[in-house]
Amino acid sequence: MLQKQRTIQSSMSCSGIGLHTGAPCSLTFHPAPVGHGIQFKRLDIPNSVPIPAIIDNVVDISRGTIIGMNDIKIYTVEHVLAALAGLEIDNVLIELTASEPPVCDGSALPFIEVLQKAGFEEQDAPKEYLEIDQTIIYHNEEKGIDLVVVPAPAFRITYMIDYKNPALGTQYTSLYDLQEEFVKDFAAARTFCFLSEVEMLKDNDLIKGGGIDNAVVFVDREVDSSELERLKSLFAMTSDVIVGANGILNGRELRYYNEPVRHKTLDLIGDLALLGFPIQGHVLAARAGHAAHVELVRMLRKEYEKKKLIRAYRGKTSADVIFDSAAIARILPHRYPFLLVDKIVDLSPGEKVCGVKSVTINEPFFQGHFPGYPIMPGVLVIEALGQAGGVLLLNSVENPEGKLVFFTGMDKVRFRKPVVPGDQLYLKVELDFFRRGICKMRGKALVNDVVVAEAEMTAVVRDKEAS
């Protein structure tokens, strides 16, 4: 894989109509500086700002991948993103004269050809990767969808589709070398669908720009001559419509013997680009689509955020500890005798945190609570939960060193069992809500898997200077 960031040498354009909107659109790729990423900008909307093509800006996946900000949307971005990711381009601005890129022939190849004409420029900055070091799994039991990412020395994909239609059936493909294989073996794979699906979409004006020139249409039911005439009118064709011997409308020849599964792979590459940088790992996909792809990217983004935090705070510590006491002291403002979290053992940014507090007889509060019968004050158990929650909150905002967490309320506080010297508190806090600096969390403190205390906590995050 390339080691430095990459952009294009010059601006280059292409034109066509959008698959779903049917609107004519001119798309122009422009060079962009280091760290810019992939951004789309609508020229048909005055004063519109560029929309970064990242997972946080995905607003819909019902028909392709749609990104948006401030009520401005860009439809069906996956083929453009696949072309950029396949060519390992990191930084580019894409200007559009409409809301949807041209569908062209239904593949990524037209965009590849435009980008190749623009030329490539290596930039003086390292490329960022997400290195997969543990298995990540997305599973949908109801739909039989599986997406698994496992450690690998390079980016790889193995994809399987399984349809009841005999023209498709079960198909597999693998990509093991992006530079060597993508342009030659995957970029030209066109979008595909079933005839019954196309009719429904056409009748409901959901693919106004769709036709047999930009998609491979598989016939999934019996069609008589009268219906063929209706299809001719539906697709606004001048020539006759036939059902090919290969089960494809008008008998269009496939570009690859397993073109449908290669197009699924292309879509996956485009959706993975929403991570904002490439991964080093092997993606195994079965019966997936845009919705599942996007959920996997969300999981990968959380893994990236976790790794980013670990790099920032952990330093040198054991593999089973995310943050040790020294790292926690860099995150939280608390100090002896009020720092009540010894280590963080699990962290999912924006979701949950798990910490540990070892309770010893040397704790200063045992001198008076109670002499001869030492019990950790319940309020300090809740404080320990709050501090663990503080780690979670402060690592969900920018510049955590300059922030403080102030708790504003406690609800449903329960003390189930005394905590005594020798106990090890396991502190589990889950984030229910966090917006505009206000949050709500649920926490449980356990000893030997038994809940000893729990509470619902509300808090605000404020700048230290404003405090």
Active site residues: 290, 369
Q: Which of 354, 340, 167 is nearest to 253 (CA)?
A: 167
Question: Could you give the residue ranges of the DSSP H alpha helices within 176-323?
Answer: 178-181, 195-203, 225-234, 259-272, 290-313
Q: Are 145 and 287 in contact (CB under 8 A)?
A: yes
Angle, vertex CA 21, rays to CA 15 and CA 27, nearest 5: 25
Q: Is 203 exposed, middle or buried (0-12, 13-18, 19+ CB in 10 A)?
A: exposed
The token duo for 306 is 């976790």
Amino acid, single-letter form, for residue 91 = N
Tally of CA atoms within 13 A in the half-sphere of 187 that contains its CB: 23
Contacts of 325 (CB under 8 A, 6+ apart): 339, 342, 343
* Residues 6 or more apart in contact with residue 458 via CB below 8 angstroms: 407, 408, 409, 410, 411, 438, 439, 440, 441
Cβ atoms 53, 38 nearer than 8 A: yes
Contact 216, 260 (CB under 8 A): yes
CA distances to 68, 190, 198 from 23, rounded to whole Å, are 18, 20, 18
Look at residues 1, 99, 80, 66 and name the one whose alpha carbon lies nearest to residue 38.
80
> Where does 18-65 show beta strands of DSSP type E?
24-31, 38-42, 51-52, 58-60
